Amino acid sequence: MANIIGAIACSHTPTIGFALDAAKQQDAVWAPIFKAFEPVQQWLAEKKPDVLLVIYNDHVTSFFFDHYSAFALGIGESYPAADEGGGARDLPPVAGHAGLARHIGASLMADEFDMSFFQDKALDHGCFSPLSILWPRANGAWPGSIVPLQMGVLQFPVPSARRCYKLGQGLRRAIESYPEDLNVVLVATGGLSHQVHGERAGFNNTPWDHQFLDLFENDPETLLNMTHADFARLGGWESAEVVMWMAMRGAMSAKLHCLHREYYLPSMTGIAVALYENVATVDAALTARAIEQHRAHIAHQTHGVEELPGTYPFTLETSVRAYRVNKYLHQLIDPGFRARFLASPEATYDAAQLTTEERELISTRNWRGMIQYGVIFFLLEKLGAAVGVSNLHIYAAMRGQSLADFQQTRNAPGALYSVASTSTAGATNWDKPAAK
């Protein structure tokens, strides 16, 4: 099983990444930052974890307010550094552990956390600022992989400290029930006291920062009873992002061993870094039984689906595996792409780097084959609308029937339709044979 071997709490201010990239390690102003992180670097180098689960928030970089989620889990295979307005940092992409991420996502959904999931998104300083100093790269390569958990803490209402703590409890169940042997370290980012907007910009409260760190380790229940207004009053409005730390705290044991703790306030944000290990007596038999029960809990809602013939659930695993071809077909909602696809499909295949199999599936309109490959149906109907094939043609082809035979199974045999707009429906030739 996967094992949580420790947890790190640290600020994610861009100050950290700036100082590192500018080689300020020996500068008197910046040196305390690097010295504070050194024991954690050494601990990570000694423990050599396989995966870091990084709890962070995006700063309106890769996530915008057209769709803003409370809990968004990265399930992709790689994450580059984001361009936040002045060019991306010179960092290589970090690998994602898609298998663990999918398991965590399924587990949290089973625990009734309404997760959203993302792939193909760059990560901003919320993740990479602390990651780049915590996990030095050897020969340009990161030491392991990550699972990023992005929390929407900028647009209120946002999750409470207690809700984040409960999410952390779910994270522990999820990680420890993962069947592969992995060593996992939790990294909670954000804070401490700071406010970066309005007339109160520049507010800090160092005594509160130290009190928060004491409570976080020894009395988290007091923090769970605090409101966002409480955190803002004591630490500044943007410091309310410390609720992300509570997700890490919830995943750890009730009693913690603090191996290292340091605090520094160079400018706008109280920069803290702390390293924790669990203090708990584990009963192996009880743990094993709990893990088996939780795995059954995760699988409960879809148990038996495998017995349904001709049924292909679109799961997180399918989404990651077939992401490229689904992303390609999703572009059919763009009129410009549709025109290029209809005029010269091979050029669009090349641009998307589709495999030979993917090109063949689309070119031959192999509707059943695309479903079996991992294309979700609602992109098939977009392809059908673009090329002038009705939904009924697609349904018939997936069943291996002619359109006429399939129509005889419907209450209204003559009904043909698609998602094409009325402006294009008149040009559709419904009478042409469906591709097999």
CA distance 86 to 206: 31
CA distance 200 to 251: 34
CA distance 352 to 152: 31
Burial 361-394 (b: 16+ CB within 10 A, else e): bbeebbbbbbbebbbbbebbbbbbbbbbbbbbbb
Residue type, 82: A
Residues 6+ apart with CB under 8 A from 379: 326, 329, 330, 332
Q: Is 210 a catalytic residue?
A: no
Give me the pLDDT at residue 357, please: 98
Give me the pLDDT at residue 435, please: 47
Task: Please tell me whether the overall predicted TM-score, pTM, comes out greater than 0.75 for this model.
Answer: yes
Residues 6+ apart with CB under 8 A from 108: 71, 73, 115, 167, 170, 171, 174
Tokens 């309106």 map to which residue?
Answer: 60
Give me the pLDDT at residue 281, please: 72
Angle at 177 between CA 318 and CA 9, to 5 degrees: 95
CA distance 261 to 384: 59
Give, rounded to a whole angstrom, the gap between the first and last alpha carbons of the chain.
Answer: 45
Three-state secondary structure call for residue 68: coil
What is the phi-psi region of residue 302: left when phi exceeds 0, alpha when psi lies from -120 to 50, beta otherwise? alpha
Closest CA to 272 of 225, 206, 195: 206
CA distance 362 to 410: 27
Q: Is 125 a catalytic residue?
A: yes
Instruction: State the catalytic residue, choosing from 12, 97, 103, 125.
Output: 125
CA distance 367 to 380: 7
Residues with pLDDT less than 50, the chain: 425-427, 431-436
pLDDT digits (tens, 9 = 90+) for 322-357: 999 999 999 999 999 999 999 999 999 999 999 999
Q: What is the edge-to-edge ordering of all strands in the sheet holding 255-264? A: 116-118, 71-74, 145-151, 51-56, 183-189, 3-10, 271-279, 255-264
Task: Provide the token pair at 186.
Answer: 């939790």
